[in-house]
Amino acid sequence: MFTVVIVGRPNAGKSTLFNRLIKKDEKIKAITDKLPGVTRDVNYGKAKWDNKEFIVVDTGGFFAEEKAKDIIEKQVLEQIEIAISEADLIIHLLDGKDGLIPDDIEIARKLQKKGKDILWVINKIDDPSKLNRIYEFYKIGNDLIAVSAITGYGLDELIDIIIEKIPAEKSQLPQEEEIPKIAIVGRPNVGKSTIINSLLGKKRMIVSSIPGTTRDSIDTICKYYGKKYLIIDTAGIKKLSYYKKEISQEIYIEKLAYFKALKSIERAHIVVLVIDATEGIVNQDQKIAGMIAEQKKGLIILINKWDLIPLEERDKKAKYFSQEIKRKLWFVDYAPFLKVSALEKTRLTKIFPLVEEILKEYQKRISTAELNRLFSEKLKDVVLSSGGKDLRFFYLTQVSIAPPTFVIFVNDESAVKSHHIKFVEKILRETFAFKYTPLEIKIKQRK
């Protein structure tokens, strides 16, 4: 598909333009803010205009390599280079408010050496009275387009030019099958982005020992034995109390990232919860698992950084985690767990067979005849005592899938306790091989 990559200096408005271009097709948008450097990773979205489709790529702030202050900024530049190599068209977004500066000229020269088709787009031109701002930019190119990513001024002209450049054979995607969506979540700095980079076999996500490196939710297509999966990398989910402090601009951005991580869980079919093997299961891991359980999503628990556990301690540590998951994450006891090393790329591909198995169970529907047989054999004559009341089951039916959802009709809804529901869930899992999927069981009183 035709790919448009947006590049430019930090805070030129790239993410705002990205959101403008994809707004008709994408619900999840890039975080935007006036603080320079908000976008660090490369973000992909699909745009549809006039029955034509194209990929839009948002990138981090572009600057001279020698000006990179730390490893994160160096990796930002690496990400941009990868995005540019995949581009059919580059939008060099320039800041009309700041005017042309030496960094813009340097970026333009670098882009021209790539041999790609380039549009010189001058942002922050809110109305025709400010068009005089663009004249100095003729030093880097002749065909300039004035826009305001915030107000939408000049956007129609930009889109028309993009569409004209799309070859007919690249304008439409073939009808796509439903791609399984896998969200990678966890606390900051547990190795989420490293896991994705290892799965992809290329550096798409910025990796650093500094917590909070990923601020946005990033979608990337991954192939495993020819099958596509949509991998969603998310910002590290911090303690909720962190967001109750006095709001600074940096914390405001982190708060946006937190809510985008929640949205990513909601979008996903399967959620992979990454836990640091060197720290064990902490309180925040339990809270994140609770968020996943509330949304009834398929779950895989990854114990990452297994390479940091000494060889002689691994058997003991494996037993410890097996017990800790049962003790601290008992409410998601259906979730399988894997011990992995993102750095050494060990056992990571075991994720995909588990995803397929969970999805199969997640979509499973049990026939009425099978449920009737189960009810007659194991539930019909069961009488449970609850607070002096006799609880009887009258009927069991499946009402939906994803997750499999069942309704039990009882004589007294008020008598039903959580252990009664667990009793029915246990029978359903054992009888119909619901091993890894969450189940939802609802209670209804028969009139």
pLDDT band at 319 (very low <50, low <70, confident <90, very high): very high
Q: Pick from 74-88, 115-129, 387-401, 406-420 the range whose average pLDDT is largest.
A: 115-129
pLDDT, tens only, 361-393: 999 999 989 998 988 888 777 766 666 667 788
Given pLDDT bands bounded at 50, 70 and 90, which one contains residue 169? low
Residue 331 in tokens: 């409410």
| pLDDT of res. 189 | 87
Q: What percent of the chain has pLDDT over 70?
A: 79
- Give the up-direction half-sphere exposure of residue 382: CA atoms within 13 A in the CB hemisphere: 17
pLDDT of the residue at 388 = 63
What integer pLDDT is reported at residue 252 of this predicted model?
47
- Which residue has 């306790």 as its token pair? 417
**Helix segments in 113-248, DSSP class H:** 155-165, 192-200
Q: pLDDT-derived band of residue 338, with 50, 70 and 90 as boundaries?
A: very high
Sequence-distant (≥ 6) Cβ neighbours of residue 130 within 8 angstroms: 96, 146
What mean pLDDT do residues 76-100 have? Answer: 86
Confidence of residue 174 (pLDDT cuts 50, 70, 90): very low
Tokens of 12: 């030129």
Confidence of residue 239 (pLDDT cuts 50, 70, 90): low
Cα angle 204-205-206, degrees, rounded to a multiple of 5: 125
pLDDT, mean of residues 428-435? 95
Name the band, by pLDDT with cuts 50, 70 and 90, for residue 418. Answer: confident
Phi-psi region of 100 (alpha: psi -120 to 50; beta: other; left: phi over 0): beta
Mean pLDDT for 207-217 is 45
Of the pLDDT bands very low, low, confident and very high (cuts 50, 70, 90), residue 307 is: very high
pLDDT at residue 365, rounded to an integer: 95
List pLDDT tens digits, range 50-86: 778 888 988 877 765 555 555 556 666 777 787 788 8
Banded pLDDT at 357 (limits 50, 70, 90): very high
pLDDT at 82: 75
Count of beta carbons in the 10 Å neighbourhood of residue 415: 19
- Which token pair is 58? 């948002």
Confidence of residue 175 (pLDDT cuts 50, 70, 90): very low
Per-residue pLDDT, 199: 87
Residues 6+ apart with CB under 8 A from 381: none
**What is the average pLDDT across 413-429?**
87
> What are the backbone angles phi and psi of residue 394, rounded to the nearest 5°?
-105, -35
Q: What is the mean pLDDT of residues 229-235?
A: 84
Set out the domains of the chain in order of their start, with CATH numbers: 3-170 (3.40.50.300), 181-362 (3.40.50.300), 368-445 (3.30.300.20)
Q: In what order do the strands lie in the sheet with 89-95?
A: 43-49, 52-58, 3-7, 89-95, 117-123, 144-146
Q: Write the CA distances from 241 to 124, 249, 254, 284, integer angstroms.
A: 37, 17, 13, 11
d(CA 165, CA 158): 11
Q: Is the dihedral of CA 138, 143, 148, 154 positive or negative?
A: positive
Distance CA 291, CA 296 (A): 9
| Predicted pLDDT of residue 10 | 85
Tokens representing 9 are 């200096």
Helix (H) or strand (E) holding 48: strand 43-49
Cα distance between residue 350 and residue 1, in whole Å: 30
Which pLDDT does position 68 carry in this prediction? Answer: 53
Instruction: Tell whether the model's pLDDT for residue 103 goes beyond 70.
Output: yes
Q: 3-state DSSP call for residue 424?
A: helix
Compute the mean pLDDT over every residue in the chain, rounded to the nearest whole number: 82
Mind listing the pLDDT tens digit for each residue in 435-446?
Answer: 999 999 998 987
pLDDT at 26: 43
What is the reported pLDDT for 419?
84
Q: Among 144-153, 231-240, 322-331, which stretch is predicted with the lowest mean pLDDT?
A: 231-240
Q: Where are the alpha helices (DSSP H) in 174-282?
A: 192-200, 249-267
This prediction's pTM: 0.61
Residue 349 pLDDT class (50, 70, 90 cuts)? very high
Is residue 212's pLDDT more than 50?
A: no
Q: How much of the chain exceeds pLDDT 90, in percent? A: 44
User: Could you tell me how far CA 362 lies from the centroid of its own chain?
Assistant: 20
Q: What is the pLDDT of residue 173?
A: 45
